[in-house]
C-alpha cells in the first residue's frame, strides 16, 4: 500500500493498487522479467539508477511486511545486502535460492528494472497494510 510522494507514475500506480501480501520486485539490469509481468524499466546506463537508490525511494513510499532476497547476495554482494537491510530495518527477511527468487517474480505485481550491474541486487517487497 502506498505511503506518499512517488513521482514515477507507473510505480505510484502499482503501489496504489497493491493489497496485503502483494509483491513488488526491484531488480538489477540482468534479472529476467517473466512475460506477462509489468516491467517498469528505469535503466538508463550501467549503474544508473542504482538498485539502492530505487530501494530507498520505493521503501519510503510503501508499507513493507517482508523482504525476499536471494541467498547468494550474502556472499556474492555483501555490501548491497547490508545496505538493503540498513534501509529496511525491523522488516522480516526471507532468503531463497536465486532460482526460487526468479520463480517468485512470476507472481509479482511488477518488476522495476534498475541500471544496477552488481550480482544478485534484487529484492521482492511483500506489501503490508497501512492500518
Full DSSP string of 64-125: EEEEEEETTHHHHSHHHHHHHHHHSTT-EEEEE-HHHHHHHGGGSSEEEE----STT--EEE
Return the CATH superfamily for domain 9-127.
RbsD-like domain (3.40.1650.10)
Cis peptide leading into 86, omega within 30 of 0? no
H and E: helices and strands count for the chain: 5, 6
pTM: 0.95
Task: Give the pLDDT of residue 108.
Answer: 98
**31's grid cell:** 534479472
Alpha-carbon span 48 to 61, nearest angstrom: 20
Task: Give the pLDDT of residue 2.
Answer: 52
- Give catalytic status of residue 98 as yes or no: no
Above 90 in pLDDT, residue 120? yes
Domain boundaries, the chain: 9-127
Task: Give the pLDDT of residue 3.
Answer: 56
Tens of pLDDT along 20-61?
A: 999 999 999 999 999 999 999 999 999 999 999 999 999 999
| Catalytic residue selected from 4, 17, 20, 63 | 20
Amino acid at each position: 500500500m502506498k505511503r506518499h510522494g512517488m513521482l514515477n507514475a507507473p510505480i505510484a500506480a502499482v503501489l496504489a493498487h497493491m493489497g496485503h501480501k502483494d509483491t513488488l520486485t526491484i531488480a538489477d539490469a540482468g534479472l529476467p522479467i517473466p512475460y506477462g509481468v509489468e516491467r517498469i524499466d528505469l535503466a538508463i546506463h550501467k549503474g544508473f539508477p542504482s538498485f539502492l537508490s530505487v530501494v530507498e525511494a520505493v521503501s519510503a513510499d510503501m508499507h513493507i511486511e517482508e523482504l525476499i532476497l536471494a541467498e547468494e547476495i550474502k556472499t556474492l554482494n555483501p555490501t548491497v545486502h547490508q545496505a538493503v537491510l540498513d534501509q529496511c530495518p525491523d522488516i522480516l527477511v526471507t532468503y531463497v535460492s536465486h532460482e526460487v527468487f526468479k520463480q517468485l517474480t512470476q507472481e509479482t505485481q511488477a518488476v522495476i528494472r534498475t541500471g544496477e550491474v552488481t550480482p544478485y541486487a534484487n529484492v521482492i517487497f511483500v506489501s503490508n497494510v497501512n492500518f
